[in-house]
Amino acid sequence: MGNILVIGAGSIGALIGASLVKAGLKVTFAGKAQSNYTQQIQHRGLTIVSATETKFCISPLQSQVRFIDTKTYLAEKFDLIIVAIKSHCLTQVASYIKFHATKDTLIVHAQNGIPYWWFNDEIYLKSLNPEVLEQLGSRRHLNSLDPQGSILSSLGDFVLVGCVVKAPCHKTPEGYIQVKKPPKLILGLTQTQANSRQQARVQQLCEIFSKHGISATYTTEIRTAVCHKLAINATTNVLSALTGKVIADLTSNSRTNNLIKKIIREINHIFQIYGIKIEKLPTESQIYSYIQEPGSQSHLPSLAQDFSQHRTGEISLITAPVEMAKIADLAVPTLTSLGELLQLGQTYTLKVPDGKSSILNCSYTSGFCKLSQDIFQSRFLNTMQIPDVLNHLTQVNLSALS
């Protein structure tokens, strides 16, 4: 773990990198090129504010710390690469990751949603239902995540480590990274037959994190851990992005809770088809125990933060599991409708940067959703689109009744 590269110095990258800096390790933070934020941290460094309001500052003057951007040429290779960027940005940095890695480098992917490496394990594939495996064929990627499989082609032969992040946080107006409750990581090798040396290295990394501010655990079932986190993201992140509401508002109405439960059931149906054992699927009580914690309730999830700032977000939180369902000929009407609405919301928030970012209004009393008048007033929708959009909205509202 002597030389570490953190790609992405936003909330999650800063938080994870700070733990490694606390451990006295040599850390290079590589931010997005030509970004005002990257330029700011190159000059002033990073400040992490914990849930207990304790500040930890990382100065660019510290000898073991370096702040660069991803266009900066570095001749060196790294022992550990933390990839802490949004999943839709991976295609832009895959070659950068590959250039700085060796066959022994641990590449830790800290992204939400289904990861691009999901099907990159022959032992896992052999565990699937033969009918699903036949429908999957030779395909090892999802177009919603990795068009044409370019990321997997670049990185699939390296030592890949899945990383599930449970750390509600955001950037404050002052530029600090505010963490809302004690952060947790779950790490696991993506190959079932990983060797003992690789396992020991990931376990050592978990120990380093746990000693320096982030509770981290090692798992041999990283896909199960991804499934649990996706169930959280597919409910709170997606609904929050569509409505602009924080989690406490989403869970305050019985019909909205019905919708959340329907989403969980459809997510579980998909993952059961894709090899997660029934007894290990996320339960409603497990999901609610997480989203009803104080630090979560007041939080605006990352996808909603992106929409509110009119940025591209991780809509693959829905589109990827829907694509998996289509491959398996599985009907998931609620997720399908939410996916269509989310894609509409993403297009709207990028095309109308000075308007309201959310496209749905959710009634506090009835729990039903309707389209925001801002969409119609902006003339964003044409008459040909309206029937399809209303059909998807009807499906979402029907799900809130069941």
* 285 neighbors 275 (Cβ within 8 angstroms): no
Q: For residues 66 and 60, what is the distance between their CA atoms, to the nearest angstrom?
A: 6
At 295 the pLDDT is 66
Label residue 290 by pLDDT band (50, 70, 90).
Answer: confident
At 241 the pLDDT is 93
Strands 177-179, 46-49: parallel, antiparallel or unpaired by DSSP?
A: parallel
Give the pTM. Answer: 0.93
Question: In CATH, what class is 3-220?
Answer: alpha beta
Label residue 180 by pLDDT band (50, 70, 90).
Answer: confident
At 296 the pLDDT is 66
Which pair of structure tokens corresponds to residue 77?
């290779």
Tokens 């951007």, located at residue: 69
Label residue 115 by pLDDT band (50, 70, 90).
Answer: very high
Region class of 251: left (phi > 0), else alpha (psi between -120 and 50), else beta: alpha
Label residue 246 by pLDDT band (50, 70, 90).
Answer: confident
Which pair of structure tokens corresponds to residue 138?
């030779």
Q: For residues 91 and 149, what is the distance between their CA atoms, to the nearest angstrom?
A: 10
Tokens 């190159």, located at residue: 42
Label residue 272 by pLDDT band (50, 70, 90).
Answer: very high
Burial class, 398, CB count within 10 angstroms (exposed 0-12 / middle 13-18 / buried 19+): middle
What would the mean pLDDT of 386-394 be, rounded to a whole number? Answer: 91
Label residue 302 by pLDDT band (50, 70, 90).
Answer: confident
What would the mean pLDDT of 152-166 be, rounded to a whole number? Answer: 96
Where exactly does CATH 3.40.50.720 map onto the chain?
3-220
In b/e form, how buried is each residue of 361-372, taking b as 16+ CB within 10 angstroms? bbeeeebbbebb
Among the ranges given (37-51, 248-262, 271-285), the one the predictor scored with the smallest mean pLDDT? 248-262
What would the mean pLDDT of 162-177 be, rounded to a whole number? Answer: 90
Average per-residue pLDDT in the chain?
Answer: 92
* 45 neighbors 86 (Cβ within 8 angstroms): no
At 311 the pLDDT is 92
51 has pLDDT over 90: no
Question: What CATH superfamily is the domain 240-399?
Answer: N-(1-d-carboxylethyl)-l-norvaline Dehydrogenase; domain 2 (1.10.1040.10)
Q: Tell me which range, 137-141, 178-182, 267-271, is most confidently predicted by mean pLDDT.
A: 267-271
* 98 neighbors 154 (Cβ within 8 angstroms): yes
Among the ranges given (173-187, 290-304, 360-374), the one the predictor scored with the smallest mean pLDDT? 290-304
State the virtual CA torsion across 361, 367, 368, 374 in degrees, nearest 10.
-10
> Per-residue pLDDT tens for 73-100?
888 999 999 999 999 999 999 999 999 9
At 270 the pLDDT is 97
What would the mean pLDDT of 9-27 be, rounded to a whole number? Answer: 95
The residue with greater pLDDT, 170 or 165, is: 165
Where exactly does CATH 1.10.1040.10 map onto the chain?
240-399
